[in-house]
Chain A
Amino acid sequence: MNFEALEVVGTKERDRQAKLQGRIFCCTSTACMSAGAGQVHTMLDQAVAVSQSDEFETEVVKTGCMGLCSHGPVVRAEEKDKAAALYGNVNPELAQQIVSRHFPVEEALEEIDSDEPDQSVTPHDIPHFRASLRKAQAKTELDKNIISLEDPFFTKQVRVVLSDTGRIDPDRLEDYLAHGGYQGLAKVLETMTPEEVCTEILESGLRGRGGAGFPSGIKWNFVRQEEAEQKFVIVNGDEGDPGAYMDRTIMEADPHRVLEGMMICAYAVGADYGYLYIRGEYPMAIERIRNAIRAARRHGVLGNKVLGTDFSFKADVRIGAGAFVCGEETALIHSVEGKRGMPRIRPPYPSKSGLWSAPTVINNVETMANVPSIIQNGATWYADIGTEKSKGTKVFALTGHLRNTGLIEVPMGITLREIVYDIGGGIPGDKEFKAAQTGGPSGGCIPAEYLDTPVDYESLTELGSIMGSGGLVIIDDSTTMPDFAKFFMDFCVDESCGKCLPCRVGTVQISKLLDKLISGEGQPEDLDKLDELCQMVQTTSLCGLGQSAPNPVLSTLKYFREEYDTLVQSPETVEAGVK
């Protein structure tokens, strides 16, 4: 398939969608599926099948995440030329009501007596089902499930990576094309040299979204300049931070975007083979990426002579076996090579000697997903979003003690306060905000006094935390910080690979010290020892896991020292929950 044919497919799909009188989008991401979206989707599908007619064509689209995971399953109904309506906590019964409200069934062929909605319908019972739907039309329980799209949760967000998320069917390449998909790839293949692509990315200010924030343009340029017969692109989808699911959502909701970003990268650096390394706990993401690869290959977007040009690219999925450390790039490379996932000393960086010793770009899923938009809209457009040093947007998995939890995308530089109180809707109950934990087990806790800090790489690092991959846990005042720190430290103890001493033994000793303190047996000097040990592990560990493992302890020691002091002085008071 060439560029024109690709556009034809997109246009055709757009035309088809435009002709529809209405569309119902049902979120089928992991969070909503676990809340029952599977049944909701089936019900929607059947109801729409019954209600549509030749003049009134509708369809149900299963999509990826719509963001408000705390309210799942989420369904959005769009009628032609009308504002969309969003419903939360949908069940099959409510699904019937949604369909009948937006796409009313004109006539019932038979009357039914029961008030119970028919939920066990089969195609043979169509008349009966229609009747049930008509009855549902009159019901108004649905109103309390409406979620306002004007809520700050939505209005404060800027969606680049997630722009199509929740709007397209991830399993249909056509849908992605209809939304301008693969136009970025077409653009670079048709009009740009690899060097220009690298420059564009560099100028956009895109930085690695895996956490470290290394400028992607520079990384790509390193690999581009390497002289080698074989180069690789790896997309890191081994998202391991507790509570973080940004990459999972992107892969589930918009897999082609990840592929497109990866291919643009491959073109820019001169690679012809790539791997998507996805953690095994993400079966749906794996399935959707695999479907996407298959569809792209079928359409000539992937494979030899991509879109009729001389550029060839093949992609494959590698599944992680559940090791947190495999998110570290060198450990990930070992894992892809079929070896035990253990980090190795850098340099040489993967850009010089990566997968099977070939120059390799490793970027995280979110980073890659940014790329198509940057290419389509230009570096300046992207650089206009965000702060001076941190450009663009960042996706966060917002969790913890909040009214609204879910997946959000915000411009860099937004304050924590805005995220917590506007987007997150504040702390539920009569509790107070205590701290925000960014960066998962590698990050730190930011206390209330820094709520107005802009969220960008430098500011967070300065506060002793990190941007991380996008886990954002909000803690209210019912949590004691040493316990909180201990949770993350134990995570690191379990996940340390065992290669380097400070991480292997140091984390265990830190955890033991925390145990001692929490059980009330701590001595004042133990706090100094804790601090020393943390710093030692931080400065001497081999990879990022060990270097950042003490962050939760160090940052809580820094901002909540009094809680540790109380432990040493009188443990009873802290156990009682005194702030």
Chain B
Amino acid sequence: MTLTQSNTIEQKEVFLELTIDGQTVQTRPGSTVMEAALANNIDIPRLCYHPELSVSGGCRLCVVNVEGYPNPTPSCGLACEDGMSIQTQNEELFQTRREIIDLFVAEHPLDCVTCDKAGSCQLQKYAYEHNIKETSHAFELPRTLYQDDNPFFVRDHQYCILCGRCVRVCDEVVGAHAIDFAGRGFECHIATPFDGPMKDSACVFCGNCVQVCPTAALNPVSRMGKGREWELERIKTICGYCGVGCQLEYALKDGEILYAQATSDGPVNGEMLCTKGRYGWDFATDPQRLTSPMLRRDVAYEMGLTKEDWTLPEESPLKVRKPNIEDSFVPVDWDTALDLVADKLADTVKEYGPDSVMGLASARCTNEENYLFQKLFRLGIGTNNLDHCARL
């Protein structure tokens, strides 16, 4: 079958060719030198640049030499041109970058020994790579706000380097635009409207700002003071909430989740998550979790497992303010519970036929589990009375 014109996607593959550090690199028109370099595993130091966000050009760390240009030019905003020749590493650039980091740490306390972000802080990394132990300038802290007005993340302005990634992600990706730059020059800081509490702003607590923050200015509350980056075990999995299927990475210490974040290799979500995915994992360790099979007290009594008879209250469980499961149920071992279920199911099937049994599978269980569940009903019991909450 031939396709009509409008259904054909004819994206002509035009490539530009340029040289970066002596390596010939091909790239699409419209891409920047930074993008071309990163795509070819050429690492250029950068702080305000983030691949998912618009170009800021504020940190000046990604400067490169371009043949024919008098001054070093930031590569993040530099459009590739055919035949361009770029140098990303040389003594002059090293010195320029060193001076820039020197200035950064003139207003960023080097508290690395106690900092939660140590180990994954980008500024720390570049200070190390450029051998900056302390600033050669007069240290002055322009931003001292410490805002812990919500249980999601802490804003510690003294570590903020004003890269603006948080502002951009909030506006360009989340669409909330809850924060922006306020004040001028040295007084400049990232603020909610009138510096009010986060909850009164347009913030949706997705934490994508925390995700993209290169320093300790934004940190999840859940991890504060609980472990250093290099001590954490990291496990990638898929979020258990909605159907988008975001990949997230849990950082754990001693089997306890300290925080969740997304990683750039997430096939669906990249580095972005929503508030439920990023912060809604603490339910798993809630004390109300069911930890053993249980029988209702009347059933247990019938089986001789309890001494007191009991009847199910007439009152709807929805009407009970703080229901306590132990008031109505007694824990038993797995064999007792499973045998009882099998027994009663078998009785029902025998007495009323397979179609007297109904199964509700779960949209929150795995494919394997749902597969086995429907197999139990169709093969084991012999009914198609099988549904789940797809419609709810």
Contacts and interface: CB of A to CB of B under 8 A. Distances in A.
A and B touch in the complex (CB under 8 A): yes
Contacts of A495: 184-185
A498 B183 contact: yes
Given A499-B181, A540-B63, A504 B71 contact: no
A10 interface: no
Interface string B120-161: 000000000000000011101010000000000000000001
B59 A498 contact: no
B185 A540 contact: no
Contact of A505 (B106, B164, B180): B106
Interface string B180-203: 110111111000000000000000
Contacts of A509: 103, 106, 137-138
Contact of B72 (A347, A508, A512, A539): A539
A501 interface: yes
B257 to A, nearest CB: 35
Interface residues of A, number: 34
Interface in A484-509: 493-509
B266 interface: no
B214 interface: no
B181 A345 contact: no
B103 A344 contact: no
A504 B186 contact: yes
A20 B47 CA distance: 70
Contacts of A348: 79
Interface string A331-344: 00000000010101
A323 interface: yes
A126 B258 CA distance: 89
A423 B207 CA distance: 63
Contacts of B184: 323, 494-498
A345 B56 contact: yes
Contacts of B227: none
A508 B60 contact: no
Contact of B103 (A342, A502, A542): A502
Given A493-B185, A505-B106, A539-B72, A500 B58 contact: yes
Q: Which of A348, A499, A532 has the most CB of B within 10 A?
A: A499
B116 interface: no
B123 to A, nearest CB: 11
B79 A347 contact: yes
A536 interface: yes
A504 B60 CA distance: 12
A353 to B, nearest CB: 11
Contact of A499 (B96, B162, B186): B162
Contacts, number: 105
A501 B185 contact: no
B138 A493 contact: no
B77 interface: yes
Interface of B is mostly: loop
A512 B77 CA distance: 31
Contact of B96 (A493, A512, A540): A540
B57 interface: yes
A512 B186 CA distance: 13
Given A512-B138, A542-B58, A501 B186 contact: no
B32 to A, nearest CB: 10
A542 B186 contact: no
A494 B60 contact: no
A493 B72 CA distance: 24
B35 interface: no
A71 B9 CA distance: 72
B154 to A, nearest CB: 22
Contacts of B106: 505, 509
A494 B103 contact: no
A493 B59 CA distance: 17
B76 A345 contact: yes
Given A345-B77, A509-B138, A542-B58, A498 B185 contact: yes
B185 A536 contact: no
A150 B136 CA distance: 59
Contacts of A342: 181
A100 B79 CA distance: 70
Given A345-B55, A345-B76, A504-B162, A497 B188 contact: yes
Interface in A524-558: 529, 532-533, 536, 539-542
B60 A540 contact: yes
Given A505-B104, A506-B103, A509-B103, A542 B185 contact: no
A504 B76 contact: no
A539 B71 contact: yes
A540 B100 contact: yes
Nearest to B107: A505
B185 A347 contact: no
Q: Which of A344, A497, A509 has the most CB of B within 10 A?
A: A509
B105 to A, nearest CB: 10
Contacts of B161: 501
Contacts of B104: 501, 505
B185 A344 contact: no
Contacts of B59: 500-501
Contacts of A533: 137
Interface string A265-283: 0000000000000000000
A508 B138 CA distance: 10
A495 B185 CA distance: 6
B138 A500 contact: no
Contacts of A500: 57-60
A499 B137 contact: no
Contacts of A340: 180-181
A222 B322 CA distance: 71
Contact of A540 (B72, B76, B138, B142): B72
B298 interface: no
A340 B164 CA distance: 13
A543 to B, nearest CB: 9
Contacts of A536: 96, 99-100, 103
A505 to B, nearest CB: 5
Nearest to A507: B185
A494 B58 CA distance: 18
Contacts of B58: 499-501, 542
Given A347-B79, A498-B187, A541-B60, 6 more contacts: A323-B184, A340-B181, A494-B184, A494-B185, A509-B137, A539-B96
In order of increasing CB-CB distance, the 9 nearest A-B pairs are: A498-B188, A345-B57, A345-B77, A496-B185, A500-B58, A499-B58, A505-B103, A509-B137, A540-B60
19 contacts: A344-B56, A344-B57, A345-B56, A345-B74, A346-B77, A493-B185, A496-B188, A497-B188, A499-B56, A499-B181, A500-B60, A503-B185, A504-B185, A509-B138, A512-B137, A539-B96, A540-B60, A540-B72, A540-B100
Interface of B: 55-60, 63, 71-72, 74, 76-77, 79, 96, 99-100, 103-104, 106-107, 136-138, 140, 142, 161-162, 164, 180-181, 183-188
Interface of A: 323, 340, 342, 344-348, 493-509, 512, 529, 532-533, 536, 539-542
